[in-house]
A and B are shown apart, each in its own frame.
Chain A
Amino acid sequence: MSTVTLRVFRFKQGDAAPHYDTFTVTAGPRTTVLEALQAVRRDQDPSLILRHSCHHASCGTCGMRVNGHEVLACVTPLADLGPVVTVEPLQNAPLVADLVVDMHPFYATFTQAGMPLVRTSDNLAGSHPAPGIETLTRFENCLECGLCLSACPVVATDPLYLGPAAMAAAWRVVQEPRGADPAQALAWVDQEHGCWRCHLAFECSTVCPNDVQPGQAIAALRQRLVQGEPAPPRPRPAAAEPAPSPARAARRGLRAWFDPRGRDVGYWAFVLHRVTGLALVFYLVLHLWVLRLLARGPQAWDDFIALARSPLFLALDGVLLFGILFHGLNGLRVALVGLGRGAARHKALFWALMAVLVVALLVGVAALVAVVHGA
């Protein structure tokens, strides 16, 4: 048995601001975070609010953030997490109290996707896909836990975004309609704040406890739409209308873009793509502004060129080169994966492109150094 300190997020309706309470618990090798929290509620603070049901990764109700990562508390061993463990509610959903968020808006998206929340069967071991089904991956596997919503950087800022789980459900309907209308599901995701809003950070797929792979499902939906699947007129669902302000307030907002701690590589790539993109737009404006010197005649331009060949300018050129290379190469990945090409191997593709970046950057920096020495 070891002793673990739990730092638990606390908030009750009417509180001015949330705070953290500290509890000391004892943990055996198999004690889970959920069991530890239940022990706190039983023995130390009965006012602690948390939600759970099945205790075996099936109901999806115990989703929370533990040390900054979205997990199902009922299958997360406490012993692996260090002496101090921070427990917080999911992000990007309205907070009810302590570790509980309001899941109603999230559940409603499943109905809109055309997939009912209640499923009737699962694949038996050794069974084969029915004719017309591409893989045995079953999006009924979705637990509706909401971990993907909490991790997604687009959900963090866009209250109109349909979200990864709902679009995975829509793709499930397209793959195996079972009486539902796939064209309606496609029409529903084919909107600015639907599958085209996704930036393929794949954080949803990283945190999903049941391998639903929503990111890959979104890429597949896009591929199907680009291939020209006919889509009937879409009645605009209520959730796609501008959301009321509490829904916006419940989201992390832009903080999510600038705080990729603990996130996987796709999330970092998303943040860096945004930062380099904005920086390159700034550079474009600066570049055009400098080029106005050309309109002033030879002296102004030649003076500028002399300045541009100084070591400081050339160092900034190196930074610019990195920005261009990263944005260009990661952009190729986004374009390819976004069209459904290589979605299953998006990480390998990313690292292969980053290897190209390193080689090109070294060549570019060597050329800049040669300019300094040859100037």
Chain B
Amino acid sequence: MNRDAGKFWWLVQAFSGVALVLLLGMHFIAQHYVAQGGLRTYADVVAYLDSPWVLALETLFLVVVAVHAALGLRAVALDLGLARGQQRLVDGAVAGFALAVVFYGLWLFTRIGGG
């Protein structure tokens, strides 16, 4: 981990957090107002994800939430004062977690969109 890693990841964590506040607001608004009455049925969900704007918003939300959650887990792990080897292990684990969340979410989008 180079010297700038602390600053870099802290800034990513802070800005992804601020972005999440905005994206989560948009996520709720889109689900409850764009999809009139909310996503009550399977058909509602399919129709909702049909819009490319909604799909772009939800994908962005998914990526940012995965990054923020992974960095949060990493911060908790670093708080415990890990040795350098353990820290690398944690870095790998949280990166794997973020990738798994993103790819699983994208797979779900394709399953729903494609029926």
Contact = CB atoms under 8 A, between A and B. Distances in A.
Given A192-B5, A277-B72, A338 B10 contact: yes
Contacts of A295: 108, 111-112
Interface size class of A (residues with CB under 8 A): 35 or more
Contact of A197 (B45, B65, B79, B101): B79
Interface in A293-309: 294-295, 297-298, 301-302, 305
Contacts of A159: 81
A158 B79 contact: yes
A335 B24 contact: no
B53 interface: no
Interface stretch (A115-123, A139-147, A280-288): A280-288
Contacts, number: 105
A294 B45 contact: yes
Contacts of A243: 81
Interface string A316-342: 000000001000100110110011000
Nearest to A330: B17
Interface in A176-206: 187, 190-197, 199
Contact of B79 (A154, A288, A338): A154
A365 interface: no
A274 B6 contact: no
Contacts of A277: 72, 76
Given A301-B42, A331-B17, A335-B17, A158 B6 contact: no
A247 to B, nearest CB: 9
Contacts of A294: 42, 45, 108, 111-112
Nearest 3 pairs between A and B by C-beta? A196-B6, A298-B42, A158-B81
11 contacts: A161-B81, A196-B9, A196-B10, A277-B76, A288-B101, A294-B45, A294-B112, A298-B43, A331-B18, A335-B15, A338-B14
